[in-house]
Amino acid sequence: MNQDKPLAERIRPNSLEDYIGQPSILHENSMIRRALKTGLLPSFILWGPPGVGKTSLANLISNELDRPFYTLSAIASGVKDVREVIQKAGEKHLFRGKSPILFIDEIHRFNKGQQDSLLGAVERGDITLIGATTENPSFEVIPALLSRCQVFTLDPFGEKELKELIHHAIEKDPWLNALKPKVEEWDALLRLSGGDGRKLLNLFELIVSHFQEEGEVVVTNARVKSISPEKLARYDKTGDQHYDIISAFIKSIRGSDVQASLYWLARMIEGGEDVKFIARRLIISASEDIGLANPTALVMANACFEAVERIGWPESRIILSQTTIYLASSAKSNSAYKAIGEAQSIVKQTRDLPVPNHLKNAPTKLMKDLGHGKDYKYSHDFPGNFVKQEFLPEDLKKTVVYRPAENDRERQIHRYLSSLWGDSYFS
Report the distance separating Cα 280 and Cα 304, nearest Å.
9
DSSP code, position 46: E
Alpha-carbon distance 112 to 143, whole Å? 10
End-to-end CA distance of the chain: 72
Rounded Cα distance, 130 and 210, in Å: 38
The phi, psi pair for 220, rounded to 5°, reads -125, 165
| Residues forming beta bridges with residue 101, ordered by sequence position | 69, 128
Which residues make beta-bridge pairs with 71? 103
Q: What is the pLDDT of residue 226?
A: 82
Query: Residue 417 to residues 279, 336, 378, 427: CA-CA distances in angstroms?
Result: 34, 16, 18, 12
Q: Rounded distance, CA 194 to CA 240, Å?
A: 6
Helix (H, G, I), strand (E, B) or coil at 370: coil
Beta-strand ranges (E) seen in 32-166 are 44-47, 69-73, 101-105, 128-133, 150-153
Residue 152 bridge partners (DSSP): 46
* C-alpha closest to that of 131 among 77, 196, 64: 77
How far, in Å, are 196, 317, 371, 410 from residue 38 at the CA level? 32, 50, 50, 58
Torsion of CA 273, 279, 280, 282, to 10 degrees: 120
Distances (CA, A) of 411 to 154, 297, 407: 45, 18, 6
CA dihedral 169, 174, 178, 179 (to 10 degrees): -40
Between CA 393 and CA 402, with CA 399 as vertex, the angle to 5 degrees is: 120
Which helix (H) or strand (E) covers residue 186, if one does?
none
Domains and CATH numbers, the chain: 22-153 (3.40.50.300), 159-232 (1.10.8), 240-328 (1.20.272.10), 355-426 (no CATH)
pLDDT tens digit sequence for 59-89: 999 888 888 888 887 777 777 878 888 887 7
Q: Using 50 as the pLDDT threshold, list the residues of the chain that sit under it.
A: 1-2, 229-234
Which among 246, 239, 234 is positioned nearest to 270, based on CA atoms?
234
pLDDT for 214-225, tens place per residue? Answer: 778 899 988 888
How many angstroms from the chain centroid is the CA of residue 53?
A: 16
Give the distance, in angstroms, between the CA of residue 76 and the centroid of all CA atoms in the same chain: 23
For 375, left (φ over 0), alpha (ψ -120 to 50), or beta?
A: left
Output the CA–CA distances (angstroms, integers) from residue 307 to 87, 301, 426, in the order listed: 36, 10, 39
Per DSSP, the three-state class of 12 is coil
Give CA–CA dist 109/114, Å, rounded: 9
Nearest to 294 by CA among 405, 420, 208: 405
Q: At what angle do helices 316-328 and 258-270 cross, to 10 degrees?
A: 150
| Omega cis (within 30) before 314 | yes
DSSP run (H or E) holding 271? none
R_g of the chain, CA atoms, integer Å: 28
Exposure letters 93-121 (e unless 16+ CB within 10 A, then b): beeeeebbbbbbbbbbbbeeebbebbeeb
Q: 46 burial class (0-12, 13-18, 19+ CB within 10 angstroms)? A: buried
Cα of 329 vs its chain's centroid, Å: 28
Q: Which residues pair with 133 in a beta bridge?
A: 47
- Residue 352 · residue 309 · CB < 8 Å: no
